[in-house]
Amino acid sequence: MDRKKSLLKYSSQVTSIIAAARSLVQEKGVENFIKNEMVHIFENYQALETLCEEMNCVSVEELEQKLLESCEDIVETVKEFHSTESAWNKFLSDLDAQLLYPEDLECKEFKDFQLRPLDQPDQILKFSQVLKSNSNEFKWVVFLRFAG
């Protein structure tokens, strides 16, 4: 498949993903979307990976570089790619604008928040217990985030 076709296909895929996701967010709300429909966000990566493969690139950086060096006959298509990128970023920032935390959590004592150890998910521990779980004076907490 030539570059131009690949780029146009990618652009059209992303446009469809955005439309489907926007419709889901409107219908069910952003929290539901994050909980159940993040697969739509992943689809964008799938499309991008396919584009990288078709363009013989091993990374997105390389893809960007190749696009910058593209010959004139696909200049318009490259513009289309960047416009797709902008549309995607706009879509994500619109979602971000809807992500709010409820105010009632502000006064809570963080030591009392409840956590479940991954190896014993039925067990519930207070964060204060986790902090005291060994003799170390400090804890370094790392949050793993898969969605917004």
Binding mask 14-53 for other proteins (x = CB under 8 A): --------------------x------xx-xx--xx---x
Record the tokens describing residue 1, joined without a space. 């498949």
Closest distance between other proteins and the C-beta of residue 69, in Å?
A: 18
φ, ψ for residue 10 (rounded to 5)? -60, -45
- Is residue 68 near other proteins by the rule CB under 8 A? no
109 and 40 Cβ atoms separated by less than 8 Å: no
Query: In the structure encoding, which two tokens stand for residue 96, read together?
Result: 């971000």
Separation CA 108–CA 139 (nearest Å): 20
Q: Is residue 139 involved in binding other proteins (CB under 8 A)?
A: yes
- Give the binding range for other proteins (CB under 8 A) out of 8-16, 54-62, 67-75, 76-84: 54-62
Interface with other proteins (CB under 8 A), residue total 54
